Each structure stands twice: as structure tokens, then as C-alpha cells.
Structure 1
Amino acid sequence: MGATRFLTKTLDRVSTEMSLHVLAYNLKRVLNVLGSGALMATMKA
């Protein structure tokens, strides 16, 4: 994902940071598979 170290220190914050990394990765994959028009239509529904 391109991140080498976590920017936060406590376990709760590291967990949140990792969740954001995974969410960004998954959104990029969906955007590549569906395209931006289909993604926006799906998010509006």
C-alpha cells in the first residue's frame, strides 16, 4: 500500500490508520474495475 510505518502510536489509532489504508486501497480497486461513473451511481443509490 506504500506505507512503511504507522504515523500513530497506540493500538487503537494504529488500527484506525490501517483501516483507512485498506479502505483507500479497496476504493481504488473498485474505481479501476467499475469506472468513475458506475461508482458514483452506486454510491448515490
Structure 2
Amino acid sequence: LERMQMLLDARPEAAVARRQTVEHVFGTLKSWLGTTPLLTRTLPKVRTEISLAVLAYNMKRMIKIMGAQGMVRAISA
């Protein structure tokens, strides 16, 4: 943690870049999952639930960027 703090102190713009790229994804996933707790219990099941949400997010982005047919071609290749 101390090393990370030193790196951020040396480059404060890195925190801004992180907020612009990573935090949006987490905000979107939290919105999709709602404010309620996760539906599953135990770490393996929670990992699965989060993994499915991330997969859905990534597929939705692919469709937006490449179109549905482009995504199917990319997956099939």
C-alpha cells in the first residue's frame, strides 16, 4: 500500500486515468447488480455470479463496438 501511495503521489494523473477507465465499469456492474447483496453465498458461487456479470458487460460492449454480426464472426474465428 505504501509503494502504491508513493507511485500515486509521483503521478497524480494516474488516479484520474483510472477513474475514467476502470471506475465506470464497476459503476455499471453495480447498477446492473442493483443495490441488493449478491444472490449467492460462498466464494466460488460469488465468483461465478460476478464473472457472468463481467461477461455480459464485455459482450454488450463488443456488440456496441463491432455490431452483433461482427461479434459472432470474432467469436467464430
TM-score bracket, normalised by the shorter chain, equals 0.7 to 0.9
TM-score, normalised via structure 2 length: 0.54
Query: May I ask how many residue pairs the two structures share in their alignment?
Result: 45
Larger relative contact order (CA 8 Å, sep ≥ 6): 1
Greater share of residues in helix: 2
Q: Deviations over 1:1-45 (max 9, x none)?
A: 211321101111001110110010010001100001111111111
Q: Percent identity?
A: 40
- Which runs of 5 or more residues in structure 2 are unaligned? 1-28
TM-score, normalised via structure 1 length: 0.86
Q: CA RMSD in A?
A: 1.0
Q: Which segments of structure 1 move beyond 4 Å, counting only runs of 4 or more?
A: none
